[in-house]
Structure 1
Amino acid sequence: MRIPVPETILPAEQLGRVHFVGIGGAGLSAIARIMLARGIVVSGSDGVDSPTLDRLREAGATVHVGHAAEHVRGADTLVVSTAVREDNPEYVEAVRLGLRIYPRSAGLASVMAGRRVLAVAGTHGKTTTTSLLTVALQAAGADPTYAVGGELAASGTNAAEGGSDLFVAEADESDGAFLVYKPHVAVVTNVEADHLDQWGDEESYRNGFAQFVGRLDPDGLLVAVVDDPGAADLRYVASSLGRRFVGVGESELADVRAVDVVLKGTTSSFTVVDRGGVELGRVMLQIPGRHYVADALAALTVGLRLGYSFELLKAGLESFTGTRRRMERKGDAGGVRVYDSYAHHPAEIAGDLVAARSVAGEGRLIVAFQPHLVSRTRIFGEDMGRALGAADEVVVLDVYLAREDPDPEVTGRLVADAVPLPADRVAFVPGLEEAAAELVRRARPGDLVVTLGAGNVTEVAPRVLALLEGQDA
Structure 2
Amino acid sequence: MNINKKNRIHIVGIGGIGMSGIAEILHGMGYKVQGSDISKNKNVERLSKKKIKIYLSHHKKNIDQADIIIHSSAIDAKNPEIKEAMKLKIPVLSRSSILSQLIKLKKTIAISGSHGKTTTTTMISSLMTDYNLSPTVINGGIINEFGTNTRLGNGEWIIVEADESDGTFLKLDPNISVVTNIDKEHLDYYGSYSELKKSFKKFISNIPFYGFAVVCLDNPPLKSLVETIKNTNVVTYGTDKKSNIRAFNIRYKKEKTYFDVQINKKNKKNIIKNFCIPMTGKYNVLNALAAISIFVELDLSLLKAKKSLKNFKGVNRRLTLVGSYNAVKLIDDYAHHPTEIENLLSGLKNAYSKSQITVIFQPHRYSRLIPLIKEFSKSFINSDKVFVSNVYSANEKKPNDFDLSRVIKLIAKNSNTNCVHLQNLDIIKNEIKKSKSNDIYIFLGAGNITEWPYQILKDLNEN
Is this a same-fold pair by TM over 0.5? yes
Q: Does structure 2 conserve the Cα–Cα contact (< 8 Å) formed by 1:12 and 1:110?
A: no
Are 1:425 and 2:414 matched, yes or no? no
Are 1:38 and 2:29 matched, yes or no? yes
TM-score where L is the length of structure 2:
0.94
2:337 equivalent in structure 1: 345
Partner Cα distance (1:350, 1:439) in 2: 23
State the secondary structure of the residue aligned to 1:23: coil
Cα displacement (A) at 1:424: 9.0
Are 1:60 and 2:51 matched, yes or no? yes
Cα displacement (A) at 1:41: 0.8
Q: 1:402-413 to 2 correspondence within 5 Å?
A: 402=394, 404-410=396-402, 412-413=404-405
1:261 equivalent in structure 2: 250
1:319–1:31 distance in 2 versus 1, CA, 3 Å: same
Q: 2:70 aligns with which of 70, 79, 84?
A: 79
Partner Cα distance (2:215, 2:379) in 1: 25
Cα displacement (A) at 1:188: 0.6
Q: Does structure 2 conserve the Cα–Cα contact (< 8 Å) formed by 1:435 and 1:460?
A: no
Partner Cα distance (2:409, 2:368) in 1: 16
1:13–1:399 distance in 2 versus 1, CA, 3 Å: farther
Q: 2:105 aligns with which of 104, 107, 114?
A: 114
- Supply the AA of the counterpart residue of 2:245: V
More deviation, 16-25/177-186 = 16-25
- Supply the AA of the counterpart residue of 1:144: P
Q: Does structure 2 conserve the Cα–Cα contact (< 8 Å) formed by 1:116 and 1:184?
A: yes
- Supply the AA of the counterpart residue of 2:110: A
1:161 equivalent in structure 2: 152
Cα displacement (A) at 1:73: 1.8
1:5 equivalent in structure 2: none
Q: Does structure 2 conserve the Cα–Cα contact (< 8 Å) formed by 1:336 and 1:447?
A: yes
1:456 equivalent in structure 2: 448
2:235 equivalent in structure 1: 246
Q: How big is the alpha-carbon RMSD for the aligned residues of Structure 1 and Structure 2? A: 2.1
Q: Does structure 2 conserve the Cα–Cα contact (< 8 Å) formed by 1:366 and 1:450?
A: yes
Q: 2:313 aligns with which of 318, 321, 329?
A: 321
1:223–1:355 distance in 2 versus 1, CA, 3 Å: same
State the secondary structure of the residue aligned to 1:194: coil
Q: Does structure 2 conserve the Cα–Cα contact (< 8 Å) formed by 1:367 and 1:450?
A: yes
1:98 equivalent in structure 2: 89
Are 1:180 and 2:171 matched, yes or no? yes
Aligned sequence identity (%): 29
State the secondary structure of the residue aligned to 2:210: coil
Cα displacement (A) at 1:372: 1.0
Q: 1:115-264 to 2 correspondence within 5 Å?
A: 115-238=106-229, 240=230, 242-264=231-253
Partner Cα distance (1:435, 1:153) in 2: 31
More deviation, 104-113/447-456 = 104-113
Ranges in structure 2 where 5+ consecutive residues have no aligned partner? none
Ranges in structure 1 where 5+ consecutive residues have no aligned partner? 1-9
State the secondary structure of the residue aligned to 2:313: coil
Cα displacement (A) at 1:320: 1.0
TM-score where L is the length of structure 1:
0.92
1:6 equivalent in structure 2: none
Write out per-residue CA displacement over residues 369-409 of structure 1, whole angstroms, 9 at most, x where no aligned residue.
Answer: 11111211111123212212321010111111225333243
Write out per-residue CA displacement over residues 33-77 of structure 1, whole angstroms, 9 at most, x where no aligned residue.
Answer: 111110111111111101211111122311111211111122122
State the secondary structure of the residue aligned to 2:410: coil
Write out per-residue CA displacement over residues 125-156 of structure 1, whole angstroms, 9 at most, x where no aligned residue.
Answer: 00000000000111112110001100011221
Aligned length: 459
Q: 1:336 aligns with which of 303, 315, 328?
A: 328
